[in-house]
Amino acid sequence: MLMPSFIRDRREALVAEVARKRVLVVDDASLVRLYYRDALERAGYMVDEALNGLEALEKLLLQPADLLIVDVNMPQMDGFTFLKVLRRQELPLAGTPALVTSTECGPQDILAARRAGANFYLVKPLTQDILVEYAALLCGAAA
Amino acid sequence: MNEFVEQFLLEARELVEQATDDLLALEEKPGDSERLDSAFRAFHTLKGAAGIVDFAAMTRAMHAAEDVLSAIRTGANPVTPRLIGDCLTCLDQVIQWLDAMQVSGGELPPDAEAGADAILRRFGEESRVGGPVALLALPQQAPVSWVEAMLDGHPEAAAEASTAIRYSPDPGCFFRGEDPLGLIAQLPGIVALDLLPVAPWPELDALDPFACHLVLMVLISGSAEQAATLLHQVLDQVEIRPLRVATGGVEGDPGLSAAARKLLEAQLLLLAEDVAEGAAGRLASAGKVAANVLRHGGKMAEAERLERHLSHSQTAGDPRILATAIEAALNGRLLAGAPDDVGPAPRLPEETAARALRVDVERVDALVTLTGELTIAKNAISHMAGLAQDGMDPKALAALLKQHHVQLDRLVDELQQSVLRIRVLPLNHVFRRFPRLVRDMAASLGRPARLVTEGEATEADKAIVEALFEPLLHVLRNAISHGIETASERAALGKPPVATVHLRATRDGEHVIIEVADDGRGIDLERIREVAMERGVAQAETLAAMTEAEVMDLIFAPGFSTATAVTGLSGRGVGMDAVRMAVDRLGGRVGIESRPGEGTLVRFTLPLTLMMTAVMTVEAGGQLFGIPLDAVVQTVSVPHDRILPVGASHAFVLRDRTIPLLELAEVLGQGRTMTPAAEAKVVVAAVRGGLGGLEVDRLGERMNVMLRPLDGLLTSLWGVAGTTLLGDGRVLIVLDLEEIFR
Amino acid sequence: MTVRLVDGVTIVLEGQCEIDDADPLLRHLLAAPHATVDWRLCQGAHTAIIQILLASKAVVHGLPDSIFLQRNVAPLVKKAQD
């Protein structure tokens, strides 16, 4: 009944669990969070959510993330302010990769995101496939 | 992907499903004009949808199908199985196109014209030359080797060339009147041509002058669209690649995907931003992203190199050091002759997963309402904090808090329910794929059968619905290939010649029941006993002691598989054990009933949702584990002197029943860490139809958790049902008692 | 007749050479392996014809009477002789 490899397996499993990339989705729209979470979890990520920049900062101070997916228009603290504040923090927190997803698609929006410290910008709506593709690249997940 | 294309992909799939249903119904009842109209409408809407996204090839194909159906409507054509088959094939082609578009992010499939031509031929129409030719939006792909070879061989032409074409005529093309070179000669702006033999030239006397042995490669200054228009009759033999004119040909590292390049370029732009505030954070994040992109592409050494540049950049306070390194990576200069990867493998569309979640507005509204209520509840807490600060009587405060807790508890509960309902899908999502499959299976096995589905509207968790396809397909395959008699056998038995397979779903409290019932020959228990012995699944004496139901259940035993004839349809001898495993993984059960001569029924009992599981936490060997609460009968303290050795294991007596006892820490290989207390804490659980005791160091609390089924690496983990994340970030391993007591 | 063997050592391609000319051309080349192909009057050639010229590494004389053949095909046929 007892598999001798159980201990090793379980340790590996725990290591795998730890090795799973953590993504923090910062968006006030619950459907967007759900949509992203669904895609990312199916792709093997651990997903955490925050409804605005303030909440995201609080969560990040407690637990670092491998990737932030950030909306722009949010109550309390919008995405750009959040990114500006984030990039001013101590390292390594300040260097957390950040992907901005927004329904705005003008060049000035993309520029503003970059000024705020975003590493990349994707225009909503985006498919789950695209989201997962970019998340994998941004996190350095194995292909 | 643009919104229209996205919507197109979503809607087209639904329309294909609708049309498939209608066609199958029509085949059964050729006179059903409602179904005919519905099928016609589906094709018509598909045609319109294709037009919106400029998908000319699909428009053509749908138009042809529409014509055929229209001829049936006017009575000019009868409904024949062949015609229905052609229409279904046409829908298959559409699904392939949709899949390709899904993968490519909405690009029209480059070989669509050829597919459309094939469909027109099928419908007995010649390709309408001069009709609309698809404007081929060819993907901007990383250069492929033949393009590079072509450009290398013609450096003088590279600057002018904007499209590369490789034309591999099939050897018999001359007999169809095709003249590949003649076609090529008409291309606009030829800047280079290569004619290569597909194989080294044979001796001249062995050369077949009527077979084409050439591959034609051309660089033209004209566009890919022009090329595609001209070559539309032979598009299935042609590859067309638009070249990046701006960069004057091929440049950069071909090992990087388009997305990877875009990300690296974005980091360069980020580094160029001249804002003092947050510069260190931007630099660090850009370096991390660039390294991650390389790592994702399997370029581990390059990623490490880049990280070293990042730290140089950080110490020097100069982002340009990192920028230079990223540029080098973009141009492939960091490769330094290292043998390299081929980039990420092409992604295939997921077979069963729904691409998007469509949610009822009503359900979203319910969530919005709940959010409002939760906000009020949240505000009440700050109000209570104020009361506490003002020195409110602790007892009164506690009462208030308790009352508030009840309210929050209700809201959270409702929220969970609402979220679950969002994740719910009707079983139709998976059921509707089967009538077509059953039709094909029955036809290829020569066992006429029809599928009757019931209860498609029954809902279950999305994850469950999506995971059901394979196990159900397997059971259906078994029913048709093993369960059903041939038409002549059936006639001899006085049964209707066409067998009926029922696929039905019903909701039973917190469970969803799915049954596959056939009216075939039933299962021969004697045969199961024989096979079980033959394959070493069970010994003769064990078999003798088994009830009929237990013998029947052996079908699900690993290694039993009765797939005697390994046909293309019954898979590669995958047995019903795989079905049981799949259903187990969903937290369900599978059982079988059969009556000789009357048929067989396979029943899946599945949970409504995968999400919430009530568990009880226990501690063993210094670690916390979860035990599914539905298995726990009670917890007892057993004095150690009441634990009896039974062989190599232990047991104890509880209300006159002897219950086997396992020590959890030992079972899990943790060893003892606690000094034995006078009494053992035992969780009594119902497993495998009996009771079992599990000795633990400490009993914890009960909680509802979102149980994450094991995936990836963890699937093979013994004794574990799933994991969940605790509030403090620890992983709680939830045990699979069935397996532990096996 | 657009393919002719003249004086035993020269094969002449004339006008539009079609698929039907492939077999005669091949037979001429087999019969006279060292023949020269004179295609100065050739205005067009089916893939099958060019394929034989490439496979046989035949020596061609002059340039054909077609821009496409001159610019794009003749260099390949000449190269095949090397």
Average pLDDT, chain B: 79
Tokens of B217: 């490669």
SS3 A2: coil
Residue B529 pLDDT > 80: yes
Residue B156 pLDDT > 50: yes
- Domain residues for the domain of A101 are 20-139
pLDDT digits (tens, 9 = 90+) for B175-196: 888 899 999 988 877 889 999 9
Picking from B263, B289, B418 by the largest number of A CB atoms within 10 A of its own CB, the best residue to mutate is B289
H-helix segments, B32-80: 33-52, 56-73
What pLDDT is attached to residue B711? 56
Q: Is A80 on the interface with B (CB under 8 A)?
A: no
What pLDDT is attached to residue B327? 78
The least confident of A52-61, B485-494, B554-563, B659-668 is B554-563
Residue A22 pLDDT grade (very low, low, confident, very high; cuts 50, 70, 90) = very high
Q: Is B571 left (phi over 0), alpha (psi -120 to 50) or beta?
A: left
Q: How far apart are the first and last CA of chain C?
A: 30
Which residues from chain A sit within 8 angstroms of residue B687, using beta carbons? none
Residue B573 pLDDT grade (very low, low, confident, very high; cuts 50, 70, 90) = very low
ipTM confidence score: 0.95
> How does A35-61 read in b/e, with b if 16+ C-beta sit within 10 Å?
bbbbbbeebbbbbbbbbbbbbbbebbe
Q: What is the mean pLDDT of residues A24-33?
A: 85
SS3 B228: helix
Among B17-21, B365-369, B585-589, C52-56, which range has the highest average pLDDT? C52-56
Tokens of B125: 């129409």
Q: Is residue A112 part of a domain?
A: yes
Rounded to a whole number of angstroms, the distance from the CA of B481 to the nearest CA of chain A is: 34
Q: What is the mean pLDDT of residues B215-223?
A: 87
What pLDDT is attached to residue C50? 96
For residue B489, the tally of other CB atoms under 10 A from its CB is 14
Which residues from chain B sit within 8 angstroms of residue C81, using beta carbons? none
Residue B477 pLDDT > 90: no
- The residue with tokens 């993309």 is A110
Q: What is the mean pLDDT of residues B16-28?
A: 88
Residue B352 pLDDT grade (very low, low, confident, very high; cuts 50, 70, 90) = very low
Contact C47 B214 (CB under 8 A): yes
Q: Is residue A6 part of a domain?
A: no
The CATH number linked to C12 is 3.30.750
Residue C67 pLDDT > 60: yes
Contact C46 B179 (CB under 8 A): yes
The Cα–Cα gap between B233 and B235 comes to 6
Q: What is the mean pLDDT of residues B559-580?
A: 56
The least confident of B92-106, B147-161, B429-443, C20-34 is B147-161
Average pLDDT, chain C: 87
The Cα–Cα gap between A6 and B735 comes to 13
The Cα–Cα gap between B471 and B577 comes to 10
Residue B732 pLDDT > 60: yes
Chains A and C touch (3+ CB pairs under 8 A): no
Q: What is the mean pLDDT of residues B626-651?
A: 85
Q: What is the mean pLDDT of residues A39-68?
A: 90
Residue B571 pLDDT > 60: no
Q: Which of A6, A41, A15, A21 is nearest to B720 (CA)?
A: A6
pLDDT digits (tens, 9 = 90+) for B45-66: 788 778 777 788 998 898 888 8
pLDDT above 90 coverage of chain B, percent: 11
Residues of B with CB under 8 A from a CB of C: 169, 174, 179-182, 185, 190, 192-195, 197, 201-202, 204-205, 207, 209-210, 212-214
Q: What is the mean pLDDT of residues B607-624?
A: 79
Residue B333 pLDDT > 80: no
pLDDT digits (tens, 9 = 90+) for B388-441: 888 888 888 888 888 888 888 888 888 877 777 777 788 988 898 888 888 878
Which residues from chain B sit within 8 angstroms of residue A123, using beta carbons? none
Residue B569 pLDDT grade (very low, low, confident, very high; cuts 50, 70, 90) = very low
What pLDDT is attached to residue B136? 30
Residue B666 pLDDT > 70: yes
Which residues from chain B sit within 8 angstroms of residue C54, using beta carbons? 195, 197, 201, 214
Helix orientation angle between B81-104 and B56-73, rounded to the nearest 10 degrees = 160
Where is pLDDT greater, at B728 or B261?
Answer: B261
Where is pLDDT greater, at B55 or A105?
Answer: B55
Handedness of CA B31, B33, B38, B42 (dihedral sign): positive
Total domain count, chain A: 1
For residue C16, the tally of other CB atoms under 10 A from its CB is 14
Rounded to a whole number of angstroms, the distance from the CA of B212 to the nearest CA of chain A is: 41
Contact B180 C47 (CB under 8 A): yes
Are residues B739 and B629 in contact, defined by beta-carbon separation less than 8 angstroms? no
H-helix segments, B186-247: 224-230
pLDDT digits (tens, 9 = 90+) for B540-552: 888 888 888 888 8
Residue B254 pLDDT grade (very low, low, confident, very high; cuts 50, 70, 90) = low
Amino acid at B135: L
Total domain count, chain C: 1
The least confident of A86-90, B204-208, B562-566 is B562-566
Please tell me chain A's helix, strand, coil percentages from 3-state DSSP, rounded to the nearest 5.
50, 15, 35
Rounded to a whole number of angstroms, the distance from the CA of B420 to the nearest CA of chain A is: 12
Which residues is A25 bridged to in the sheet? Answer: A49, A69
Handedness of CA B472, B735, A10, B663 (dihedral sign): negative
- Domain residues for the domain of C29 are 3-81
The CATH number linked to A93 is 3.40.50.2300
For B412, list phi and psi in degrees, rounded to 5. Answer: -60, -40
Rounded to a whole number of angstroms, the distance from the CA of C26 to the nearest CA of chain B is: 7
The Cα–Cα gap between B243 and B223 comes to 9
Residue B443 pLDDT > 90: no
Q: How far apart are the first and last CA of chain A?
A: 36
Which residues is C44 bridged to in the sheet? Answer: C16
The Cα–Cα gap between B638 and B650 comes to 12
What pLDDT is attached to residue B340? 30
The least confident of B358-362, B442-446, B553-557, B621-625 is B358-362
Tokens of B277: 């505030």
Q: What is the mean pLDDT of residues B666-684?
A: 74
Q: How far apart are the first and last CA of chain B?
A: 50
Q: Is B266 on the interface with A (CB under 8 A)?
A: yes
What pLDDT is attached to residue B478? 85
Residue B572 pLDDT > 50: no
What pLDDT is attached to residue A19? 63
What pLDDT is attached to residue A56? 92
Residue B574 pLDDT grade (very low, low, confident, very high; cuts 50, 70, 90) = low
Residue ranges of B 339-368 with Cβ closer than 8 A to chain A: 344-345, 347, 353, 355-357, 359, 364, 367
Residue A2 pLDDT grade (very low, low, confident, very high; cuts 50, 70, 90) = very low
What pLDDT is attached to residue B195? 93
The least confident of B59-68, B158-167, B358-367, B562-571 is B562-571
Please tell me chain B's helix, strand, coil percentages from 3-state DSSP, rounded to the nearest 5.
50, 20, 30
Q: Is residue A3 part of a domain?
A: no
Are residues B618 and B611 in contact, defined by beta-carbon separation less than 8 angstroms? no
Amino acid at B705: V
pLDDT digits (tens, 9 = 90+) for B484-507: 888 888 989 999 988 999 999 998
The Cα–Cα gap between B534 and B538 comes to 9
Count chain A–chain B contacts defined by CB atoms under 8 A. Answer: 158
Picking from B7, B13, B292 by the largest number of A CB atoms within 10 A of its own CB, the best residue to mutate is B292
pLDDT digits (tens, 9 = 90+) for A55-94: 999 889 888 999 999 998 888 888 999 999 999 988 889 9
